[in-house]
Structure 1
Amino acid sequence: MSDEEQAALQSLTFNRRPVSARCDITNGALINGGVTDRVYLVMSGFACRYKTLPNGNRRIVSFALPGDLCYMHDAGPFGRDLRVGALAACSVADLSRSRLTELIGLHPGISRAIWWVTLRELSRAREWIVNDTRPADRRLAHLLCELLICLQVIGQADDDGFEFPVTQADVADTLGISHVHINRVLQSLRTGGLITWSHHQVTIPDVEELKAFAEFDPAYLCFDGFEPLGAIAAPVAVRAGP
């Protein structure tokens, strides 16, 4: 984007607010078909996009990390089958959808950027579908590799680890396995020396070994050529999602 387009994004006014763990980031605005002019930008913390099944089970379909836009493409009932909730304490910026849409119409660079991040999210969604065909231990390894790369891009991961403030039940709902089975899967990776996970900190002793075990190729994340973005101070570097 040009300097002018970046400045236009920087000019967006927003309300930044804390969201407690286990709470909906929309503050209930979309419950029961509610309508809102808000687009939600995760500024810090861990959130997730999920769907609650008729039997009450939850399936997490992606994580929302700092820099992720949520409900960017929500128009009427479109996209509201997915909820977005905080897995850990988050900070969220509420942006004006109408103002952001206006900027997209005025600035080709912003329009291209939104298209690009939307297509990148679709690429990640396809990879998650493929990952569902792998055994549970490889699925978890693949998820951890993805998080390592994504968190490194925004300056929130070391070379071999990152803070992971979620529960085993959250991971089970992400992998689509039982809360009992996730413990066995974690033990398998630990016993194999592939990861350690203690006090909300994941450490990967040999990143390349874990990538090989997970059959992980980061190309689908489309980060080639990007330098670490560092701390996000304003809604400029964003990734679009439901």
Structure 2
Amino acid sequence: MPSRGEGGGGEPIIRRLNALRRLSDAGASAIRAAVRDRTINASTGEDIACEGERCDTVRLFLSGWACRYKALEDGRRQIVNFVLPGDSCDAFIYLLSGMDHSLATLSPVTYAELDRGAFERLLSTDVSVAEAFQCEVLAARAIQREWTINLGRRDALERVAHLICEMFERLRVVGLTDGNSFAFPVTQTDLADATGLSTVHLNRTLQQLRAERLIGLKERTLTILDVDALRNAAMFNPTYLHLTRG
């Protein structure tokens, strides 16, 4: 079960929002104050929120990986997005009557949980904060549109390569890459569920990316060996991420 943490500085949130809309010093300080003493820890494989539940809080992810997913009655699962440090789940979610998807952890995670009052007070402290969170909502929609293209039009190698390129850019902007390497805690089953492939097909695709010297994957660390070649293979254009800074 999720448990209360011991505070947190909110730096991943600040870095991501800064890449979307420059925060003022006052705005960044307000975020740090808002997340302080509101952090929650969850272990791998926990459902943080389930489809159909009422959601009265905004979650701001500080560390670890999670995913949004939909499940069919027969148990088949589609991951519809990965949630990374710096992401919110979701700004303004309390305006809806209930969750239309579930949220699960893929690694140990830490997130700050703000109720409606706390979140709206945060937005009111500085216009740069309000605009940055509005940009984050719009960027999340753009990412979802790109995932639709990924599933509907790209072949297996293009899908996986594109997802890797996206994860690299999203992690880079919050300072969680080391050169062209980054922690990659997801399983092959998770990747298959995110790309609409069978685990066998996903495994073959990863082997092809390795054989072509595009990526290396060892001990849950992924290294992009040739950034330009991987982008070309994926037909990846990062403009949909709207990361103008960082």
TM bin, normalised by shorter chain, reads 0.7 to 0.9
Equivalences, count: 222
Cα distance in structure 2, aligned partners of 1:5 and 1:42 = 18
Q: Which runs of 5+ in 2 are unaligned?
A: 1-22
Task: Please provide the CA RMSD for this pair.
Answer: 1.9
Counterpart code for 2:69: Y
> By percentage of residues, which structure has more helix?
2
Q: Counterpart in 1 of 2:45?
A: 22
* 1:78 Cα deviation after fit: 4.5
Does the C-alpha gap of structure 1 residues 201 and 3 become closer, same or farther in structure 2, counting only changes over 3 Å? Answer: closer
What is aligned with 1:234?
A: none
For 2:164, the equivalent position in structure 1 comes to: 144
Q: How does 1:51-200 map to 2 (within 5 A)?
A: 51-75=70-94, 77-78=96-97, 80-105=99-124, 107-132=126-151, 133-200=153-220
The aligned amino acid for 2:228 is E
Deviation at 1:199, TM superposition (A): 1.2
Identical-pair percentage: 37
What secondary structure, in the 3-state scheme, does the structure 2 residue paired with 1:18 have? strand
The one of the two structures with greater contact order (alpha-carbon pairs below 8 A, sep at least 6) is 1
The CA deviation string for residues 181-222 of structure 1, in whole angstroms up to 9 with x for no partner, is 211111111122211212101112111110011100111111
- What's the secondary structure of 2:74's corresponding residue? coil
Task: For residues 126-158 of structure 1, give each alpha carbon's deviation from its aligned partner in whole angstroms, at most 9, with x where no partner exists.
Answer: 111112210011100000011111111111112
CA–CA distance in 2 between the matches of 1:139 and 1:102? 40
Equivalent-residue separation in structure 1 for 2:180 and 2:125 (angstroms): 42
> What TM-score, normalized by structure 2, do the two folds share?
0.83
- The DSSP-based 3-state class of the residue aligned with 2:93 is coil
- What secondary structure does 1:180 align onto? helix
Match of 1:7 among 29, 33, 42: 29
User: What's the counterpart of residue 236 of structure 2?
Assistant: 216
Q: After the TM superposition, which of the residue ranges 66-75 and 159-168 deviates more from structure 2?
A: 66-75
- The residue type paired with residue 73 of structure 1 is F
> Would the aligned equivalents of 2:52 and 2:99 in 1 still touch at CA under 8 Å?
no
- Which moves more between the two structures, 58-67 or 102-111? 102-111
